[in-house]
Structure 1
Amino acid sequence: MSGARLTADLRVADRVEASFVAEPGEVLAVIGPNGAGKSSLLHALAGLVDVTGTALLGDTDLLALPVRERRVGLVFQGQLLFPHLTALDNVAFGLRARGESRARADAVARDWLERFGIAELAGRRPRELSGGQAQRVAIARALATDPDVLLLDEPFTGLDVSVQMALRIELGRHLRDFAGIALLVTHDAIDALTLADRVLVLDDGGVAQVGAPAEVAAEPRTPHVARLVGLNLVADGEEMIAFTPDAVVVSLHEPEGSTRLRWRGPIATVAPHGDVVRLLVHAGPDLLADLTPAAATELGLLPGREVWLSTKATAVSRYPARG
């Protein structure tokens, strides 16, 4: 059924309620703070948690099908493989469970291991694989069954940064050729910006924003998304105000000038951030400010100290609170 649109209206207990549409060939990134229901959403489609509602793939409701008939591939975080099976047998498992002959399943599995550049590891068991190798096997296992829907639950978590980068590039290449629908749960803005066609933002148990990655990054509507893309976000009635940390001026006394927006609060953290020092200030809301190490030293900025933050009105972006 690859090539069909997914129209979902799901309610997972008291954890999340989400309605969304995903087009064939599309990668939909699912982002949001911890506890927003991201994994619950994927697990509902896979049949791992109780859910009410519908998930129409074309004219077929996935939720009405037995789990084994859903043609859904799921990749967990943490390289979860069958420990007693070789890499080849792990990748072939889904096909064998579907009734394919061993010869056919093994042939498809070898092809996928080859595509991920790990064919020589076919005979190894999970304990003999590195984290990156094991996750390549896990992704190959999900893709080998030719699923209609591919569910990726933070697939890069726990991997070294260099391994994450390499695997992100490899996965992106395979997703470009994937005819089905891919849902990618991630906590990393890089994943959303480089792999996704659209972004679904979950917050407070529901959908807070949906849009192209560039649109969501430019006009975030939740503090979590703003932090992901390195912006400050202030709700001002029916309007949102976004601005970068380097547009913020830090002072010990109230700034002058009517053209400046201003906030006051205690410093929560002071930490190096590239060539600058980044402050997190509990100014109601929490705000980030970047300044030079020399300026931070001169002002004596330490956690707990009350400071004023200000920015020029011309340095902020304004847009409606709800799109």
Structure 2
Amino acid sequence: MSTAPGRQLVADLRVADRVDATFTAEPGEVLAIIGPNGAGKSSLLHAVAGLVDVEGSAHLGDTDLLALPVRERRVGLVFQGQLLFPHLSALDNVAFGLRARGEGRAAAESVASDWLERFGIADLAGRKPRELSGGQAQRVAIARALATGPDVLLLDEPFTGLDVSVQMALRIELGRHLRDFPGITLLVTHDAIDALTLADKVLVLDDGQVAQVGPPAEVAAEPRTPHVARLVGLNLVPDGDDLISFTPDSVVVSLHEPEGSTRLRWHGPIATLAPHGDAVRLLVHASPDLLADLTPAAATELELVPGREVWLSAKATAVSRYAARR
């Protein structure tokens, strides 16, 4: 595997008009990078890989990856769309990186065969990418990235475009391999499940800046950006130097302003109504936008429709209050 286990990654990366981020990652750690579209997630990965112009540094131990030629960085990269070589078999795709480093064919194919076996697709070794399903092709792509024993593994939304059942199976498989991977994994994802099940730490990007870093459970419990709050199904409201978060099912919906000093309240038109499990979920433009869950019977009784003005309220005891920044 990696020739340099045990080295921390300390990165300070600036990609023009897209990213200005500083972060650290420990050996053996999976760092999930989340944030809204355009936040700079993929740019961050591409900077480490050497695919975009970047300023700053990315020290892996005493070595600055940015000072090395791309082919010497010992970085494995998996894109959303697999991007396998169409003219090569699955076996040759996985062996490609090793062959490019000068490994003999027999040795490279032996390693590639082992990785195809680990991912349960050894019987597909002779197939070309066009003969593989999306899930099979992505397994080949991940095996190709791991076969070279990278120091840093970069995964750019590896489950995008796959069926939900395929995503779940591949997520479980990948998690098993990452537990044994001695290097550092940077995982860009838009799915809270990935962050909560695969990551040791979560880095939140917002407009190219690091907005929050912490263990997945901590980030989910105390989100500091609207995007993360939506990912984990919480409402988030700024309140001076603090933030308050609360669940949609703790919100009371009414047609008239609620009474009582212990209640927080907001007012605005209904944007959408949609089934959500056994409930009806409202999105209300209440400055900020808020979610509220209520029973179908209550929604019918209140005659709720898009555009109708409603009041939302929550008891002060039902919200979590914490500092906007640490």
Q: Into which bin does the TM-score normalised by the smaller protein fall?
A: over 0.9
Q: Counterpart of 1:68 in structure 2: which amino acid?
A: R
- Counterpart of 1:240 in structure 2 is 243
TM-score, normalising length: structure 2: 0.98
CA distance in 2, matches of 1:285, 1:21: 32
Structure 1, unpaired ranges of 5+: none
CA distance in 2, matches of 1:131, 1:9: 35
CA distance in 2, matches of 1:148, 1:104: 20
CA distance in 1, matches of 2:205, 2:136: 31
- Counterpart of 1:134 in structure 2 is 137
- Counterpart of 2:86 in structure 1 is 83
> Aligned pair 1:69/2:72, yes or no?
yes
4, 19, 23: which is aligned to 1:20? 23
CA distance in 2, matches of 1:316, 1:264: 18
> Aligned pair 1:119/2:122, yes or no?
yes
CA distance in 2, matches of 1:305, 1:261: 20
1:298 offset after TM fit, Å? 1.1
Q: Secondary structure at the match of 2:51?
A: coil
- Counterpart of 2:274 in structure 1 is 271
Q: Counterpart of 2:265 in structure 1: which amino acid?
A: R
190, 195, 199: which is aligned to 1:196? 199
After the TM superposition, which of the residue ranges 1-10 and 34-43 deviates more from structure 2? 1-10
TM-score, normalising length: structure 1: 0.99
> Aligned pair 1:179/2:182, yes or no?
yes
Q: How does 1:162-311 map to 2 (within 5 A)?
A: 162-311=165-314
Q: Counterpart of 1:295 in structure 2: which amino acid?
A: A
Q: Deviations over 1:76-105 (max 9, x none)?
A: 002221111100000000000011001010
Q: Counterpart of 1:143 in structure 2: which amino acid?
A: L
Q: What number of residue pairs does the alignment pair up?
A: 323
1:34 offset after TM fit, Å? 0.3
39, 43, 46: which is aligned to 2:42? 39
Q: Secondary structure at the match of 1:261?
A: strand
> Aligned pair 1:5/2:25, yes or no?
no
- Counterpart of 2:322 in structure 1 is 319
CA distance in 2, matches of 1:303, 1:205: 34
Q: Secondary structure at the match of 2:161?
A: coil
- Counterpart of 1:153 in structure 2 is 156
CA distance in 2, matches of 1:308, 1:157: 38
- Counterpart of 1:102 in structure 2 is 105
Q: Deviations over 1:210-235 (max 9, x none)?
A: 00000000100000000011100000
Query: Does the CA-based 8 Å contact 1:2-1:147 persist in structure 2?
Result: no
Q: Secondary structure at the match of 1:123?
A: coil
CA RMSD of aligned residues (A): 0.5
Q: Secondary structure at the match of 2:76?
A: strand
- Moved runs in structure 1, 4+ residues, more than 3 A? none
CA distance in 2, matches of 1:205, 1:287: 25
Q: Counterpart of 1:195 in structure 2: which amino acid?
A: L
CA distance in 1, matches of 2:309, 2:81: 41
Identical counterparts, % of pairs: 87
- Counterpart of 1:49 in structure 2 is 52
